[in-house]
């Protein structure tokens, strides 16, 4: 057992040095926020989220805390010797998660005569969670509003942190200290299991691991010595359980309805779009929300090094999608990129544009080899870093950059009052290749107040994208802003109805595809009230009237 009186991470308050509960290397400290913002209950655990000394805190009490001291001691003893009692290889168990849970639970319950069975519903979950799962981390991932879990080194001296959305969407997301500290032994055991799940190795010569945990719908990054001098550090990012749409992002305040309409039309016009931003800025979320807006002609090719886009969910919605894996090896990735360009006339989606193989992609767009929509993400937080990443880091010619028609920048915005942060579209640009300098010219940018993203393309030429609007959609420059606002108005109606009814079907992928059948001509000729009535009649037809 850890020394409970020690000072952890400079926490001097008795609230943090008094353990609430200890179990198999996980220590839960007593924490009472001065102001509790919300409470949650899930999977036999309870959580209080609130502010203490001006900082956000996430206090979790697991179901194991209900056990008595004798039961805890006996369970710990049985778990530690359980592998000796099983006649099947533990690594095979880890690879077959469902079978593992069944065998472990059966084996454990057959030997539980000395336990208090008032908690018999809790025991099987505890056994499978700590023997073949991620222990208490699974409790945190059971909270569907938790987005990230951060475990800094040395883990025994630092509390686990989480980023979580709040139920009140106006407050955005918050970065919280938890009341949880993990022992180095527990964290090491968890990472070993993660490596077995992903068929990876974490060694002195290979101290970085990135892999997926499909049964938890999460992605894990782990670094060890010598990359992390103080030992093992882990970051876990959970994937959204649902499919994103532009209408859903409007409801969260992440995108304005006019910008959503413009991006929807860009997809319909088969434009090449890059979503750029820093880590955790919402690049993949926006990329995922653009997929329902893509033309339905042809198979969609999705290329990723780590599986982040919800391909199976899109396939269940009727999308024809083929996922290809890019593992970072130049020759293999280049071959995959060339294969993707030959696999049909459908859209190409690149999870993250990086590496020398990006040259092939941009050159193919420029020369017309990639004849349909190309969208992807790039790690770059502003226009300067965007050009630097492509030109200097990836060696892409300036002429090839002319193939990029729209660049969307996403960023974080922090509320100075609550400390919460939200992800939002901060700027949209296009390359101006006329001067030969290929400067990025704003299409949408913030006004002087810094609160509203305003269109700029009514004042200046917007480059190649205008030609595609004209060719594919029959929209001239004089109607570009009007068409964007009308398509955005449809998305706004979806968002408002969703917020009013709390019915996910209204902002679903299928509803988006249905409403996109309203033609450009019909959209441009109907009055606003007529268009509103048309949209709401479709919504009511598909999901039913609401009273």
The residue ranges of every structural domain in the chain are 14-62+136-238, 66-131, 246-474
Predicted pLDDT at 246: 97
Helical (H) or strand (E) element with 59: strand 55-61
Helical (H) or strand (E) element with 500: helix 477-501
Residue 394 gets which letter from DSSP? S
Separation between Cα atoms, residue 368 and residue 403, nearest integer Å: 9
Contact of 26 with 184, CB cutoff 8 Å: no
Contact of 216 with 134, CB cutoff 8 Å: yes
Q: How remote is the C-alpha of 18 from its chain's centroid?
A: 35
Q: Which fold has domain 246-474?
A: Rossmann fold (3.40.50)
Instruction: Please check the confidence at residue 7 and state whether its pLDDT lies above 50.
Output: no
Predicted pLDDT at 441: 81
3-state helix, strand, coil in the chain (%, to 5): 40, 25, 35
Predicted pLDDT at 336: 73
Predicted pLDDT at 234: 97
Mean pLDDT of 48-71: 85
Mean pLDDT of 435-455: 69
pLDDT class of 154 with cuts at 50, 70, 90: very high
Greatest C-alpha distance within the chain: 82
Nearest to 244 by CA among 289, 311, 183, 303: 289
pLDDT digits (tens, 9 = 90+) for 166-223: 887 667 789 999 999 999 999 998 999 888 888 888 999 999 998 888 778 888 999 9
Using alpha carbons only, how large is the chain's radius of gyration in Å?
26
Predicted pLDDT at 545: 67
pLDDT class of 333 with cuts at 50, 70, 90: low
pLDDT class of 1 with cuts at 50, 70, 90: very low
pLDDT digits (tens, 9 = 90+) for 88-110: 454 554 555 555 555 555 555 55
pLDDT class of 484 with cuts at 50, 70, 90: very high
Predicted pLDDT at 15: 44
Within a 13 Å sphere around the CA of 66, how many CA atoms are in the beta-carbon half?
14
Contact of 156 with 2, CB cutoff 8 Å: yes
Say which range, 132-141, 279-288, 411-420, 476-485, has the weakest mean pLDDT: 411-420
Predicted pLDDT at 117: 45
Predicted pLDDT at 123: 67
Instruction: Please check the confidence at residue 124 and state whether its pLDDT lies above 80.
Output: no
Q: How remote is the C-alpha of 516 from its chain's centroid?
A: 25
Alpha helices in 205-328 (DSSP H): 246-251, 257-268, 283-290, 311-316
The residue length of the chain stands at 547
Separation between Cα atoms, residue 430 and residue 439, nearest integer Å: 8
Most confident of 221-235, 302-316, 405-419: 221-235
pLDDT class of 296 with cuts at 50, 70, 90: confident
CA geometry: angle at 331 spanning 326 and 332, to 5°?
A: 35
Contact of 377 with 354, CB cutoff 8 Å: no
Separation between Cα atoms, residue 350 and residue 354, nearest integer Å: 10
Instruction: Please check the confidence at residue 318 and state whether its pLDDT lies above 80.
Output: yes
Separation between Cα atoms, residue 445 and residue 456, nearest integer Å: 7
Q: Which fold has domain 14-62+136-238?
A: Beta-Lactamase (3.30.450)
Instruction: Please check the confidence at residue 136 and state whether its pLDDT lies above 80.
Output: yes
**Residue reference for tokens 């008795």:** 14
Predicted pLDDT at 114: 52
Alpha helices in 208-256 (DSSP H): 246-251
Task: Starting at the earlier edge strand, list the strands of the sheet with 180-182.
Answer: 19-23, 26-29, 180-182
Instruction: Please check the confidence at residue 233 and state whether its pLDDT lies above 50.
Output: yes
pLDDT digits (tens, 9 = 90+) for 424-439: 899 998 876 555 556 7
Instruction: Please check the confidence at residue 403 and state whether its pLDDT lies above 80.
Output: no
Instruction: Please check the confidence at residue 86 and state whether its pLDDT lies above 60.
Output: no
Predicted pLDDT at 412: 84
Mean pLDDT of 30-38: 82
């Amino acid at each position: 057992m850890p020394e409970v009186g020690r000072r952890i991470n400079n926490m001097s308050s008795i609230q943090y040095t008094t353990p609430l509960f200890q179990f198999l290397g996980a220590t839960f400290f007593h924490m009472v926020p001065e102001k509790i913002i919300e409470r949650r209950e899930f999977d036999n655990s309870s959580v209080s989220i609130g502010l203490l000394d001006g900082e956000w805190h996430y206090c979790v009490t697991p179901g194991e805390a209900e056990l008595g001291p004798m039961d805890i001691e006996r369970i710990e003893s049985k778990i530690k010797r359980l592998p000796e009692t099983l006649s099947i290889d533990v690594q095979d168990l880890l690879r077959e998660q469902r079978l593992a849970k069944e065998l472990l639970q059966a084996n454990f319950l057959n030997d539980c005569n000395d336990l208090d069975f008032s908690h018999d519903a809790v025991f099987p979950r505890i056994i499978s969670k700590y023997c073949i799962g991620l222990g208490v981390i699974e409790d945190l991932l059971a909270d569907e509003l938790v987005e990230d879990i951060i475990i800094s080194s040395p883990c025994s001296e630092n509390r686990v942190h989480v980023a979580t959305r709040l139920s009140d969407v106006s407050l955005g997301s918050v970065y919280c200290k938890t009341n949880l500290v993990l022992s180095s032994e527990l964290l090491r055991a968890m990472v070993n299991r993660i490596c077995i799940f992903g068929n990876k190795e974490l060694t002195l010569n290979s101290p970085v691991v990135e892999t997926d945990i499909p049964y938890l719908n999460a992605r894990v990054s782990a670094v060890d010595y010598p990359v992390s001098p103080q030992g093992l550090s882990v970051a876990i990012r959970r994937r959204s359980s649902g499919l994103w749409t532009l209408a859903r992002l409007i409801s969260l305040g992440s995108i304005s309805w006019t910008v959503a309409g413009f991006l929807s039309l860009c997809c319909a016009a088969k434009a090449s779009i890059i979503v750029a931003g820093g880590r955790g800025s919402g690049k993949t979320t926006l990329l995922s929300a653009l997929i329902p807006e893509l033309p339905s002609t042809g198979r969609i090719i999705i290329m990723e090094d780590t599986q982040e886009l919800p391909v199976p969910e899109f396939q269940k919605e009727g999308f024809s999608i083929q996922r290809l894996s890019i593992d970072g090896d130049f020759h293999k990735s280049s071959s995959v990129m060339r294969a993707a360009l030959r696999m049909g006339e459908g859209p190409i989606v690149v999870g993250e544009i990086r590496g020398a193989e990006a040259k092939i992609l941009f050159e193919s767009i420029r020369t017309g080899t990639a004849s349909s929509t190309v969208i992807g993400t790039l790690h770059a937080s502003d226009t300067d870093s965007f050009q630097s990443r492509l030109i200097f880091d990836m060696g892409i010619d300036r002429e090839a950059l002319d193939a990029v028609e729209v660049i969307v920048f996403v960023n974080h915005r922090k509320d100075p009052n609550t400390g919460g942060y939200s992800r939002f579209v901060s700027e949209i640009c296009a390359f101006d290749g006329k001067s030969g300098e290929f400067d990025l010219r704003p299409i949408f940018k913030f006004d002087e107040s810094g609160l509203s993203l305003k269109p700029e393309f009514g004042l200046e030429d917007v480059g190649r994208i205008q030609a595609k609007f004209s060719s594919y959609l029959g929209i001239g420059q004089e109607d570009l802003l009007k068409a964007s606002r009308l398509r955005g108005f449809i998305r706004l109606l979806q968002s408002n109805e969703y917020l009013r009814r709390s019915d996910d079907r209204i902002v679903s992928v299928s509803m988006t595809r249905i409403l996109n059948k309203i033609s450009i001509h019909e959209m441009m000729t109907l009055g606003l009230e007529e268009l509103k009535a048309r949209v709401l009649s479709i919504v009511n037809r598909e999901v039913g009237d609401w009273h």
